[in-house]
Amino acid sequence: MASTKWSNLPVLDFSRMEAGPAEKEAFLAELREAAYELGFFYLSGHGIDESLIEQILTVSRQFFALPEEAKLAVEMVNSPHFRGYTRIGLEQTRGLPDWREQIDIGAEKPALPTDAGLPAYWRLQGPNQWPVELPELREVATRYQAQLSDLAIRLLRAFAAALGQPENVFDDIFMPDPNQLIKLIRYPGRATTGGDQGVGPHKDGGFVTILLQDVQPGLEVEHDGRWIAAPPIPGTFVINIGEVLELASNGYLRATVHRVVTPPGEIDRRSVAFFFGAGLDVKVPLLNLPLELAGGARGLTRDPLNPLFFEVGKNNLKGRLRSHPDVARRHYADLLDAAGPEGL
């Protein structure tokens, strides 16, 4: 497939999947092109209730407006499951601090016993930390997670069809326990930060990321050695491919490097990222692509600073240990002493 020179991310209307066979095929062709060339696009016609979108943005603003002691009461360093609040500058990308604060909310599940001989990645499963001062956060985030999971599953079935596969080809590796994570994020303006790295250049794990942006731009996508700005477009989400789809398609689809630039002055940027992935105990299967697509498979990205593993739990644990060294030191010292995060 010939490379296209992109200056903007395309907007794809997901409602075309239900608009008859011809519209569906046209949508899948556009999806395949955008996914192959960029790995990023805007999604309209997604069917998520606008009132729920407003509610998640509202509780996000309310959370970050809480007193610092209320946020620190649910600080991530207290959770071996990497759930909870992260102060500005404590998360890292490629060893450098990200100038943002956030709260991570995953699927609400009980912690598993650490002395049961289970693989270390099962320590990622566990309960969330919820601020007592904002009880509505739990209810809104739980509904948002459920609706975004449904959207992610519909997207995965569209990706499968675009790759010439049965639409349910991925079902067995995310059902019944997909990996779900919401990040409520606030990027303070550059006047109050130590640099312009809102979050440094990185790729996402999992199948797909569904990003809700508020009003302030800052997201940039790497393409052909340059950065494409992806400002907010009302009524859309930004969708990007994660490493599971890269692994499954042997690089026909690739997780794309992206970053967030700190907003100017004292202006805040806010976003809500939803990550949807396969079960922790899954090994990603390699798809048998049709001949017309197999020739475009580019193989896996070779990055010595970010090795890819077909074992989902291993891949997820690697990413969390590297991003949150304070949590790693407190709760995973045994693994770090044995091998370090790169040897897991």
**Which CATH number covers residue 83?**
2.60.120.330
| 291: pLDDT strictly greater than 60 | yes
For residue 176, cis peptide bond before it (omega within 30 degrees of 0) = yes
Within a domain: 4 = no
Q: Which domain holds residue 186?
A: 11-343
Within a domain: 259 = yes
Query: pLDDT digits over 66-110, tens only?
Result: 999 999 999 999 999 999 999 998 898 888 899 999 999 999 999
Among the listed ranges 134-138, 253-257, 336-340, which one has the minimum average pLDDT value?
336-340
Rounded Cα–Cα distance for residues 100 and 262 (Å): 9
Within a domain: 102 = yes
- In this prediction, residues 265-283 reach a mean pLDDT of 95
Q: How high is the pLDDT of residue 339?
A: 57
Q: Residue 21 burial (CB < 10 Å; 0-12/13-18/19+)?
A: exposed
What's 8's DSSP letter? S
Within a domain: 120 = yes
| 171: pLDDT strictly greater than 90 | yes
DSSP bridge partners of 261: 197
Within a domain: 1 = no
Predicted structure pTM score? 0.95
Number of independent structural domains in the chain: 1
| 29: pLDDT strictly greater than 60 | yes
Candidates 209, 158, 157; CA nearest to 182 is: 209
Percent over 70 (pLDDT), the chain:
97
Within a domain: 110 = yes
Within a domain: 338 = yes
More confident residue, 138 or 195: 138
Within a domain: 61 = yes
